Chain A
Amino acid sequence: MAKDVRARVGVGVVAVGATALIGAVLLWWGGYDPQVAAGAMFRGSFGSWNTFASITLVRSVPLILTGLAVSLAFRAGVWNIGAEGQLYAGAIAAVWVGLRGATLPALILVPAVLMAATLGGAAWAMVPALMRLRLGIGEVITTILMNFVGIYLAAYMVHGPLQESRGVFPQTDRLVEAARLPILVPSTRLHLGFALALLLAAGLAVLLRRSTFGFQLRAVGASPEAARVAGRIRTGRVVLASFLVSGGIAGIAGGVEISGLTYALYEGLSPGWGYTAIAVALLGALDPIGVVVAGVFFGALQAGAGAMQREAGVPAAWVGVVEASVILTVLALARLRAVGRRGGS
């Protein structure tokens, strides 16, 4: 076990190192000064306590949550590429409950908003889950397609039924105070959602390691045949539950973003967190604690990208290239490790 953890951390460190190298070469090739860019990037993400808390950590919240959603699904052998759509479904449900229940006290309204977000995300995941279990249709395609439905449903909502009362901007009304998550650290933008993400990660870690459901989930993910025959596990139920829990967590990411940061739903709420989540989950070795670390890393990358664009003139799209190279490096390293182990024994 300890050896396993060390190996996974090793993969992460090598992946980050290789990514930095690839990133520097690309910057140099594009005619930028890698040193200046790196400086800007560091200042933009770790430069001060306020920068770190208000930008890096705030950005890491949806990445950690969607990363947890994706990693849990992957552990169960469910290839949920649909965190983006589930996030939007959660955000729509959250904003709807938040606006409808404006007269309720915060102690009731905030939990109701988060519950709605969870159910919205889970409902979104239910569609591909049933299509796989009842019809045998692979979830990779269906979850991706459900992303578009979710993204455009949100766009329709802010242009139509949920548009703000003046009917000018493509966004919803702002949530009342009672529907908002409290600020975690005074004088920063860091909201309770970050604590929630950490708590959820710890809970999932314990669930996976110690609980019957977590064990069954890991077994089904590692070998559905053995889980069914040797473990007498009803694999269909475990797959369904994994879809729903994964979708629910992605939904929470949407709800937390609305209730903790933006206070309203608008088009383009997520800059693709549901996709970046795949990189977060893989870099975090599909382990909840690893996902937290990877989520903060990607939060810092995105925070730094903004500063890099302002100070060094490097387009923020460059960070997309970096994210892609992290995924490719992690996949390549995992493969190389498997091959190396076979040859060595």
Chain B
Amino acid sequence: MSEVLARLDGIERRFGSVVALDGADLILRAGEVHGLLGANGAGKTTLLNVIGGMLRPDAGTIEVGGSVVSFQTPREAWTCGIALAHQHFALVPAQSVLENLALGLARGWADPVRDVRAKALKLMDRIGLRVPLDSRVDHLGVGDKQRLEILKALLKNPRVLVLDEPTAVLAPNEISGLFALLRELAAEGRAVVLVAHKLDEVLMVADRLTVLRAGRTVLSTVPGDYEIPDLVRAMVGADPVDAIAIGVDVEPRSTKREPGESVAHLDRVSVTGGPGVDLEEVSLHVYRGQVVGVAGVEGNGQRSLALLLAGRVSATRGSVTLPEGLGFIPQDRSTEGLIAAFDLTDNVALALHRVAAYQDGPWLRWSELTRHAETIHERFEVQATSTSVLAGSLSGGNQQRVVVGRELSIATDLLIAENPTRGLDVAAAAFVHDEIRRLVATGVGVVLVSTDLDEVLALSDRVFAMTRGRLLEVDEGQRSREGVGALMLGGAFAHA
């Protein structure tokens, strides 16, 4: 067996009363791509932050190159040859891409930026990830920020490269490019650690697997020794499993639901000045009882499309017909879907207060609103002691239950769901998917806009790809990761 570059043994770490790591072990060997698996909340990110020197463990030892180390800062980890690409980007928004790359590389009085430009260009050529070097970071889409985060780690020329969920916002062809690069880096004698919540992605590239559950290492093996269902069981224990969320059910829907009447219609609609690229001449019918799935790499106009269909922005040109009973699940539940400082009743009222049935002249019918909130609380099994709990104190999954419950209750004609499972754990994602399926069965039209290709393929009757502000329908025969990915491909480099 090859040389051990880093060894983590019995790592424990708590945040207040929450135990994030409770005896996690990880051994990283030269020449290996190591896949770290686990449901959301299993402690993957915490463990990576311990390796990268961002967090100090409460107990346990870290050995690098055979000697025990204790990192006080990320720079110390970096000095030991460990570089971390963050899932929640650690970037300076007001600075350019180049300045972000140069950050931390500065030595003495030399101007680091000039030097870094040449290095960055060379690196981008080699690995095929492109980011506009002179753009300000806060003007970048999520995809570009992710590419930048990976480049930043690679520029440090690390012996141990740590990647936290790098694939979630990348296009399929970029993912395969990244994986080829990881194989190459491993072949050079480096160690790579990769977290991805899609099981099949990890299996594509990993030489070794470690599964975390509830902060503990429950399995360490090589791919092939275990069947996928066994790995899933190791990841989630007895929890309910959402096959889509962990990427083991990526087959497109085989039985197509019969379309009802048209419930929303876009006729050659353009939107300029929204987030991402402008929408150009988009036409779309949404029918009752069907799911329209829209896939695309972030920043290609799907945000504008979602807001347009939800009636939140108006068209610059073209005509938009929307129904009355319209629900919208926005992608960012904590800033757009809910008000953290409001209790659950107030948050339910947020969407319902415009409905005539809850108004009485200038007053709101608070007793009705409270009753409605209690119904959502019960029916959607929100883990909260009562409806007067502040929304900000709930976990992400429970917050999404409130948003989904609220929007389903007003979506009598149409539901727009924008990345409805992003950042949710397996059980919560399964809940959202089930609810969408149930809603469609009642004859409501659904538009699912998601960067998660598997989610789009598994739930949709009709699939569209969004590239550079245009909407392309995907033929039946092309409904696979590769097929849709090929259509999205143009968009991936649209703003590079």
Residues of chain A having any CB pair with chain B under 8 Å? 1, 210-213, 215-216, 218-219, 222-223, 225-232, 343-345
Contact = CB atoms under 8 A, between A and B. Distances in A.
Nearest to A231: B350
B351 A212 contact: no
Contacts of B342: 218-219, 222
Contact of B16 (A215, A223, A343): A343
A212 B336 contact: no
Given A219-B342, A343-B16, A210 B350 contact: no
Given A223-B340, A232-B311, A343-B16, 17 more contacts: A210-B366, A212-B353, A212-B359, A212-B362, A212-B364, A222-B342, A223-B335, A226-B335, A229-B307, A229-B336, A229-B337, A230-B337, A230-B339, A231-B350, A231-B354, A344-B16, A345-B393
Nearest to B337: A230
Contact of B338 (A1, A216, A230, A343): A230
A338 to B, nearest CB: 10
A213 B362 contact: yes
A222 B16 CA distance: 27
5 contacts: A210-B363, A211-B362, A215-B364, A226-B335, A232-B354
A210 B364 contact: yes
Interface in B333-366: 335-343, 346, 349-351, 353-354, 359, 362-364, 366
Contact of B339 (A1, A222, A232, A344): A222
Interface in B303-340: 307, 311-312, 328, 330, 335-340
B312 A226 contact: no
Given A226-B335, A226-B339, A345-B16, A215 B388 contact: no
Nearest to B364: A212
Contacts, number: 72
B365 to A, nearest CB: 10
Please provide the 6 A-B residue pairs with the shortest distance between their CB atoms, ordered closest to farther: A229-B336, A223-B339, A231-B350, A222-B339, A226-B339, A222-B341
Contacts of B350: 219, 226-227, 230-231
Contacts of B349: 215
Contacts of B388: 1
Contacts of A213: 362
Contacts of B336: 225-226, 229-230
A229 B17 CA distance: 34
A343 B15 CA distance: 9
B91 to A, nearest CB: 21
Contacts of B351: 230-232
A216 B364 CA distance: 11
A210 to B, nearest CB: 5
A211 B359 CA distance: 9
A213 B312 CA distance: 20
Interface in B217-264: none
Nearest to B345: A1
Contacts of A210: 363-364, 366
A38 B359 CA distance: 52
B364 A230 contact: no
Contacts of B311: 232
A212 B340 CA distance: 20
A345 B392 CA distance: 12
A228 B312 contact: yes
B61 to A, nearest CB: 28
Nearest to A229: B336
Contacts of A229: 307, 312, 328, 330, 336-337
Contact of A230 (B16, B17, B330, B366): B330
Contacts of A232: 311-312, 351, 354
B82 to A, nearest CB: 30
A219 B312 contact: no
A343 B16 CA distance: 6
B335 A231 contact: no
Max count, chain A CB within 10 A of own CB: residue among B342, B343, B351, B393: B342
Contacts of A211: 362-364
A210 B366 CA distance: 7
A223 B403 CA distance: 16
A101 B84 CA distance: 76
Contacts of A225: 335-336
Nearest to B406: A230
Nearest to B343: A1
A216 B353 contact: yes
